[in-house]
């Protein structure tokens, strides 16, 4: 795979809606048709940017040292990847038995630095934490560089599960799927029915609901485990296209929950033949909320819509702690709009703009949450939704969430940030904070073409 031109100097922010996203002039990994000259791809993507799922496959499970970079081989035949045109991989990365506090970043091997300039994928706050997150990350030479940064020594367990991949432009193995980003919609909330019991499955009909096409083969969902019942236990949840057989143990998980925890995790889940996903809870009685944020559907045409284009390396588009964004937290019951038009216009392929984009695949991190009143619970949630026409916001709270926040902790979750249009911009995302005040960070990993 050829390397594209390096990112140029970021464009400084000008005015903002509440926090204006700075233009980034970010380069993306080059798309090359097998056997074709590189210059031909600036105007034609072929089948590039299409997504192929694989059975979740563990490609790395070992202890890694603090404040070190670990090379992870992700292009392996055992993960079901048997082609030579991989643009990006979809991975669940889990840090278990964490030491101290810190963060983990991941980027293509050989990038300027994993997560540069300063992007992160997951954060851990307490010794022994088990923290997963999903990333669609560009790869070069089939490797990722994963960097663990912590204030403690020793080692932590790093687990990498491949769940799918994105191609460059080859048709040789058939067509993949395109991603339709959707208005986030809740399709399950067991608090209105009954929790998932221990070692039990729950089927959720998704196709034909929440904007998901009956022809969809997979969905992108935000799954929130609400482990707050009196009979809660340490547990994990797995989302898959088939129920976990009685007596079997899943080989991977999508969320890990201590008693009392409320944790959100983004997941890409294949649908069964009836358009359902299946949720498995390992222990205790767990409440679960599922929000649909996108669907994946095969298409035979050569249009750009729905193609996933990974950035050459993750890019920090937003950090409310920075002086460039006025170092202002998002307040109690507050909405604000983020303009991504400069960022979207800056992304190029072989020196040419990639064109219109519908959404951003990002990692959202909540930092330094504070309570508005001492009597308030020390928790909140953040929601990212397409901006509403005219620049207005719904009366009241957002009815879906992307990340659940606890005071004193830094918490991250992947998100599909879908653009809406207002009179002041065409690529605008609205952010809502439920309670108290919170800083937040948005690191871009990929864009979805329109």
Q: What is the pLDDT of residues 392-413, one digit of tens each?
A: 777 677 888 999 999 989 999 9
Give the pair of three-digit tokens for residue 252. 């991977």
Asked if 190 contacts 275 with a C-beta cutoff of 8 angstroms, the reply is no
- In a domain, residue 6? The reply is no
Query: What are the residues facing 186 on neighbouring strands?
Result: 291
Quick one: 229 and 250 in the same domain? Answer: yes
Q: What is the pLDDT of residue 235?
A: 93
Q: What is the CATH number of the domain that holds 69?
A: 2.60.120
Mark out the alpha helices in 67-163 (DSSP H runs). none
- Per-residue pLDDT, 4: 31
Provide the β-strand partners of residue 286: 196
Check residue 9 and give its pLDDT.
38
Res 353: pLDDT: 85
Using CA atoms, how far apart are residues 290 and 185, in angstroms rounded to an integer? 8
CA distance 144 to 73: 7
- Segment 104-124, tens digit of pLDDT: 888 887 765 554 446 889 988
210 plus 330 within the same structural domain:
no
Same domain, 331 and 428: yes
Q: Are residues 260 and 276 both part of a single domain?
A: yes
Instruction: Among 298, 314, 339, give the residue marking a domain's end.
Output: 298
Model pLDDT, residue 211: 93
Give 427: exposed, middle or buried? Use CB within 10 Å, 0-12, 13-18, 19+. Answer: buried
Taking alpha carbons only, the member of 155, 136, 440 closest to residue 313 is 136
Predicted pLDDT at 278: 97
In a domain, 211, yes or no: yes
Per-residue pLDDT in tens (0 to 9) along the chain, 450 residues: 322 333 343 332 222 344 444 444 444 444 433 322 222 233 456 678 999 988 888 888 999 888 888 888 776 566 777 777 788 899 999 988 888 888 888 888 776 555 444 688 998 888 888 889 999 998 876 778 888 888 887 888 999 998 999 988 765 557 889 999 998 999 999 999 999 999 999 999 999 999 999 999 999 999 999 998 988 899 999 999 999 999 898 888 898 899 998 999 999 999 999 999 999 999 999 999 999 999 999 988 888 899 999 988 888 888 999 888 888 999 999 999 899 988 888 888 777 888 889 999 999 999 999 988 888 889 999 999 998 766 677 767 788 899 999 998 999 999 999 998 776 678 899 999 999 999 999 999 999 998
**Is 9 domain-assigned?**
no
Cβ atoms within 10 Å, residue 379: 16
Q: What is the gyration radius of the CA atoms in the chain, in angstroms?
A: 20
Phi then psi dihedrals of residue 216, to 5 deg: -65, 145
pLDDT for the residue numbered 75? 67
The DSSP letter of residue 342 is: H
Question: In this structure, is residue 7 part of a structural domain?
Answer: no
Q: What's the predicted TM-score (pTM) here?
A: 0.88
- Total of domains in the chain: 3
Among residues 167, 196, 212, the one where a domain terminates is 167
What is the domain range of residue 254?
Answer: 177-298
Last residue of a domain, one of 116, 132, 167: 167
For residues 263 and 189, membership in a common domain is answered with: yes
Flag whether 356 is in a domain. Answer: yes
pLDDT value, residue 320: 93
Sequence length of the chain is 450
């Amino acid at each position: 795979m050829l390397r594209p031109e390096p990112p140029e100097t970021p464009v400084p922010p000008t005015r903002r809606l509440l926090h204006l996203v700075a233009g980034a002039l970010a380069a993306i990994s080059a798309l090359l048709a097998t056997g074709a000259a590189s210059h031909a791809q600036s105007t034609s993507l072929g089948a590039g940017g299409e997504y192929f799922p694989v059975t979740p496959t563990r490609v790395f499970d070992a202890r890694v040292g603090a404040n070190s970079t670990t090379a992870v081989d992700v292009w392996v035949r055992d993960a079901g990847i048997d082609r030579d045109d991989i643009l990006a991989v979809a991975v669940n990365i889990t840090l278990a038995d964490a030491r101290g506090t810190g963060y983990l970043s991941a980027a293509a091997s050989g990038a300027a630095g994993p997560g540069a300039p300063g992007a992160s994928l997951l954060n851990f706050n307490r010794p022994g934490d088990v923290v997963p997150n999903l990333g669609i990350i560009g790869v070069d030479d089939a490797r990722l560089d994963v960097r663990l940064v912590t204030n403690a020594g020793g080692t932590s367990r790093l687990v990498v599960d491949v769940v799918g991949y994105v191609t460059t432009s080859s048709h040789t193995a058939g067509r993949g799927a395109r991603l339709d980003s959707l208005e986030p919609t809740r399709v399950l909330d067991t608090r209105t029915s009954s929790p998932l019991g221990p070692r039990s499955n729950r089927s959720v009909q998704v196709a034909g609901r929440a904007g998901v096409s009956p022809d969809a083969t997979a969905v992108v969902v935000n799954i929130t485990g609400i482990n707050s019942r009196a009979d809660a236990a340490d547990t994990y949840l797995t989302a898959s296209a088939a129920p976990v057989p009685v007596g079997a143990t899943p080989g991977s998980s999508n969320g890990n929950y201590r008693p009392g925890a409320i944790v959100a995790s983004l997941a890409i889940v294949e649908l069964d033949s009836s358009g359902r996903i299946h949720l498995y809870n390992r222990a205790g009685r767990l409440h679960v909320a599922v929000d649909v944020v996108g669907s994946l559907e095969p298409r035979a045409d050569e249009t750009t819509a729905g193609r996933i284009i990974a950035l050459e390396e993750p890019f920090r588009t937003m950090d409310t702690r920075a002086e460039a964004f006025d170092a202002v937290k998002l307040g109690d019951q507050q909405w604000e709009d983020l303009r991504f038009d400069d960022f979207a216009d800056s992304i190029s392929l072989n020196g040419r703009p990639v064109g219109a984009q519908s959404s951003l695949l990002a990692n959202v991190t909540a930092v330094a949450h504070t309570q508005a009143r001492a009597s308030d619970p020390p928790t909140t949630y953040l929601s990212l939704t397409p901006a509403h026409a005219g620049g207005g916001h719904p009366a009241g709270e957002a009815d879906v969430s992307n990340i659940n926040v606890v005071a004193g902790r830094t918490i991250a979750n992947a998100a599909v940030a879908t653009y809406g249009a207002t009179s002041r911009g065409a690529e605008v995302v609205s952010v809502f904070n439920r309670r108290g005040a919170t800083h937040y960070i948005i690191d871009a990993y990929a864009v979805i073409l329109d």
